[in-house]
């Protein structure tokens, strides 16, 4: 019994000594929780507020001011622009500058006062349903809160109707957001990890010494290391795109050519990060830890896990 304790204590002491020697692992043990705390505390908000909203108003006046006031009071909407036409609003949404377009139609006030229940049109950028769902839910309260103060008794409840259009993703399918996002996640993960391991493996096993003693310069070693992973990266992209199309019914609408070109930049950036790690890491374990340290914030802050709109500007 006593000897069991002695042996476990011996193992524990040895582990602690090794852990202390391995600065990187030690740093990770402290660094990862701190990083997570900071990211979750300051940068991540699963219930994004103050979403940028564009207003198209063809009916200026008190009612308009009431509606805008009610939208802003809900906390979810922030009017960033007032435009006159559809096309301008469309452009702002497509650029990602706005998440909502609120259209107050002509004769809204007149129809409201006549009790004809006019329609207020709200278009939401639904590419990431999680980002806008709470705001959309809050809209159901709008007809009551908007008219409470100024027109009590003047208009019949519920006064007007809120019509919501979910742009780009009318059914609110999360697959539309997750599957393309997965492309970035998978590429970052494998490219950084594979390259950081690939070079570290050579140094760890002593084969790097051999390579450098042969007529091969470091740039050629790097190029030879990176090239196969570019090919693998494109294979991964093809697999994800095919799965998106046929398993998840996510259509590919953009230009495949442009995607191919842009991916090269993305792949090279990730491979460069991996190579950098492999130059710093002394063994494969360290390379993996560095990859994790890089991957964690990049996935948490990418908008894939948590809505991008919830992060501080």
Partner 1 sequence: MTPLAIDVEGLTKRFSGRAVVDKVSLKVPAGEVWGFLGPNGSGKTTTIRMLCGLLKPDGGRGTCLGLDILAEADAIKRQVGYMTQRFSFYEDLTVRENLDFVARLYALPDRRRQVEATMDRVGLASRRSQLAGSLSGGWKQRLALAACMMHAPKLLLLDEPTAGVDPQARREFWAEIHALARDGVTVLVSTHYMDEAERCDRIAYIAYGRLLAVGTVKEVVAGADLSTWIATGPGRDDVARRLARVPGVATAVFGPSLHVSATDPTVLRRAIEPFRGDPRLAWREAEPSLEDVFIHLIESATAAREKAA
β pairing state of 77-83 and 51-57: parallel
Contact 124, 100 (CB under 8 A): yes
Residue with tokens 């004769």: 107
Q: Kindly report the backbone phi and psi dihedral angles of residue 38, in degrees, each rounded to the nearest multiple of 5, phi listed first.
A: -65, -45
| Listed ranges 38-46, 54-62, 210-218, 252-260: which one lies at the site for partner 1 (CB under 8 A) | 210-218
Q: From the CB of 217, what's the least distance to partner 1, in Å?
A: 8
| Listed ranges 138-146, 165-173, 211-219, 276-284: which one lies at the site for partner 1 (CB under 8 A) | 211-219
213 binds partner 1 (CB under 8 A): yes
Q: Which of 212, 235 has the CB closer to partner 1?
A: 212
Q: Which of 215, 257 has the CB closer to partner 1?
A: 215
Q: Which of 158, 218 has the CB closer to partner 1?
A: 218
Q: Which of 73, 205 has the CB closer to partner 1?
A: 205
Q: Which of 150, 220 has the CB closer to partner 1?
A: 220
Hey, which residues between 215 and 234 contact partner 1 (CB under 8 A)? 215-217
Q: By CB under 8 A, name the one of 209, 227, 255, 280 that touches partner 1.
A: 209
Q: How far apart are CA 66 and CA 70, in angstroms?
A: 6
Q: Which of 115, 224 has the CB closer to partner 1?
A: 224
Q: By CB under 8 A, name the one of 10, 17, 46, 212 that touches partner 1.
A: 212
Q: By CB under 8 A, name the one of 206, 257, 312, 313 that touches partner 1.
A: 206
Q: From the CB of 205, what's the least distance to partner 1, in Å?
A: 7
- Residues pairing with 162 in the sheet: 120
Q: From the CB of 212, what's the least distance to partner 1, in Å?
A: 6
Q: From the CB of 208, what's the least distance to partner 1, in Å?
A: 8
Q: How far apart are CA 172 and CA 190, in angstroms?
A: 30
With CB under 8 A as the rule, give the number of residues binding partner 1. 11
| Listed ranges 136-144, 181-189, 208-216, 234-242: which one lies at the site for partner 1 (CB under 8 A) | 208-216
The DSSP-derived string for the chain is: -HHHHHHHHHHHHHHHHHHHH-HHHHHHHHHHHHHHHHIIIII--SS--SEEEEEEESS-SHHHHHHHHHHHHTSSEEEEEEESSHHHHHHHHHTTS-SEEEEE-TTHHHHHHTT--PEEEEEEE-SSHHHHHHHHHHGGGHHHHHHTTT-TTTS-TT-SEEEEEEES-TT--THHHHHHHHHHHHHHHHHHHHHHHHHHHHHHHTHHHHHHHSS--HHHHHHHHHHHHHHHHHHHHHHHHHHHHHTS-----S-HHHHHHHHHHHHHHHHHHHHHHHHH-SSHHHHHHHHHHHHHHHHHTTTSSS-GGGS--
Other CB atoms within 10 A of residue 162 CB: 18
Q: Which of 106, 209 has the CB closer to partner 1?
A: 209
Q: From the CB of 282, what's the least distance to partner 1, in Å?
A: 16
Q: By CB under 8 A, name the one of 12, 141, 207, 255 that touches partner 1.
A: 207
Q: From the CB of 218, what's the least distance to partner 1, in Å?
A: 12
Q: From the CB of 300, what's the least distance to partner 1, in Å?
A: 35
Q: From the CB of 214, what's the least distance to partner 1, in Å?
A: 5
Give the residues lining the site for partner 1 (CB under 8 A). 205-207, 209-210, 212-217
């Amino acid at each position: 019994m006593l000897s069991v304790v002695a042996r476990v204590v011996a193992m524990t002491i040895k582990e602690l000594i090794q852990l202390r020697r391995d600065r990187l692992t030690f740093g990770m043990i402290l660094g990862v929780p701190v990083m997570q705390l900071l990211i979750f505390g300051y940068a991540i908000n699963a219930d994004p507020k103050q979403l940028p909203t564009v207003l198209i108003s063809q009916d200026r006046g008190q009612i308009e001011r009431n509606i805008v006031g009610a939208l802003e009071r809900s906390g979810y909407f922030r009017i960033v622009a007032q435009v006159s036409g559809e096309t301008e609003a469309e452009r702002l949404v497509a650029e990602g500058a706005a998440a909502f377009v609120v259209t107050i139609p002509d004769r809204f006030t007149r129809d409201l006062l006549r009790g004809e229940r006019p329609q207020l049109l709200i278009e939401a950028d639904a590419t990431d349903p999680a980002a806008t769902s709470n705001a959309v839910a809050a809209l159901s309260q709008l007809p009551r809160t908007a008219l409470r103060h100024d027109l009590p008794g003047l208009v019949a409840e519920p006064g007007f109707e809120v019509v919501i259009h979910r742009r780009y993703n009318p059914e609110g399918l999360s697959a539309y957001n997750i599957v393309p996002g997965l492309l970035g996640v998978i590429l970052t993960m494998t490219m950084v990890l594979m390259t950081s391991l690939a070079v570290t493996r050579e140094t760890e096993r002593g084969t790097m010494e051999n390579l450098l003693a042969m007529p091969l310069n470091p740039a050629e070693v790097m190029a030879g290391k990176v090239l196969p992973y570019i090919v693998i990266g494109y294979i991964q992209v093809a697999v994800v795109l095919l799965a998106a199309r046929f398993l998840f019914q996510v259509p590919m609408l953009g230009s495949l050519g442009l995607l191919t070109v842009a991916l090269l930049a993305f792949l090279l950036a990730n491979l460069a990060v991996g190579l950098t790690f492999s130059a710093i890491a002394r063994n494969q374990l360290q390379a993996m830890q560095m990859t994790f340290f890089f991957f964690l914030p990049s996935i948490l802050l990418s908008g894939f896990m948590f809505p991008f709109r919830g992060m501080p500007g």
